[in-house]
Chains A and B, each alone.
Chain A
């Protein structure tokens, strides 16, 4: 049922009449945790996302298991201990570009955007406001953003033995190349 609603969410965005929509299934989301003990970096190159340029709606979907790490053990801990990816396989964001009026889709160039919406990780919903760059390029849109999240906000418990190895706040990087649909 969950995946049906997911599909409808996307189809809803895709098939709304006369709208200008952009999509990718090859987007990138990475995160970075820095502590004096170690740096941990996870990369996901399979991010699905749709932007509806007519109303500014934007949706991101990822599989948690698609995050990959330099070390196998990091990936195991990420999936089994922190994200519990068997129980919560997906993470998503659904929001809106709030300053859509300042973007001219007919003119190539970069625009600073503010996106507000709900980030859902481990079934916990958190309201976010993120500043990013939207670039109008020939044949599509590029979107880039960097923001900070806190594992505790999503009920991720980090045992005290590894507390020194995992940063209190995690930097998230988003890099997307959309094509019109």
Chain B
């Protein structure tokens, strides 16, 4: 009996400790670095907008919260609060673009209006534009 109790106590303390470690790990989990994550979808800025324009609900179910790699021409580069940077990509539509928010201003100077770029980001949905967050520029694009 005593031996069983001892074993039970050890098992329980390991579980509690394990739970605490996992809990602490989850609590402190930072957003993923999308530079190291494979995209769920790869497409052009115009195709991404088109799928939302054609059927917003279906496109939302397909793309929102997914990692999207989108390529297109830069229409604007804006510096934001908290060192963020927004790069907008042109589409076929004159009123809507793909707005990509980068969490840091790193190399903001090297992105120029009119140049081509491929950006990986997490899709938040469709407001007036398609919004991507937590973005990184995919290397090898200019």
Contact = CB atoms under 8 A, between A and B. Distances in A.
Interface of A: 3, 6-7, 10, 25-26, 28, 30, 43, 45-46, 48, 61-63, 65-66, 68-73, 75, 89-90, 175
A68 B31 CA distance: 9
A109 B37 CA distance: 46
B128 A65 contact: no
Contacts of B82: 28, 30, 43, 45
Q: Which 6 pairs show the lowest CB-CB distances between chains A and B?
A: A65-B124, A28-B81, A45-B80, A26-B78, A72-B29, A66-B124
A45 B127 contact: no
Given A46-B99, A68-B103, A75-B31, A63 B80 contact: no
Given A63-B131, A72-B31, A45 B56 contact: no
Interface string B44-79: 000000000000100000001100000000000010
Nearest to B28: A71
* B interface SS class: mixed
Contact of A65 (B64, B88, B129): B64
Nearest to B61: A86
Given A7-B128, A43-B84, A45-B80, A66 B133 contact: yes
A48 B65 CA distance: 20
A45 B103 CA distance: 9
Interface range, B side: 20 to 34
Contact of B126 (A3, A25, A62, A68): A3
B128 A61 contact: yes
B65 A71 contact: no
Nearest to A72: B29
A43 B124 CA distance: 13
A30 B88 CA distance: 21
Contacts of A25: 88, 99, 128-129
A77 to B, nearest CB: 11
B124 A30 contact: no
B125 interface: yes
B26 A73 contact: yes
12 contacts: A3-B126, A25-B99, A26-B78, A28-B80, A30-B82, A61-B128, A63-B125, A65-B65, A66-B127, A68-B103, A73-B26, A73-B29
Nearest to A79: B65
Contacts of B65: 65
A89 B60 CA distance: 11
Contacts of A175: 81
Nearest to A30: B81
A30 B78 CA distance: 17
A68 to B, nearest CB: 6
Contacts of B133: 46, 65-66, 68
A68 B103 CA distance: 9
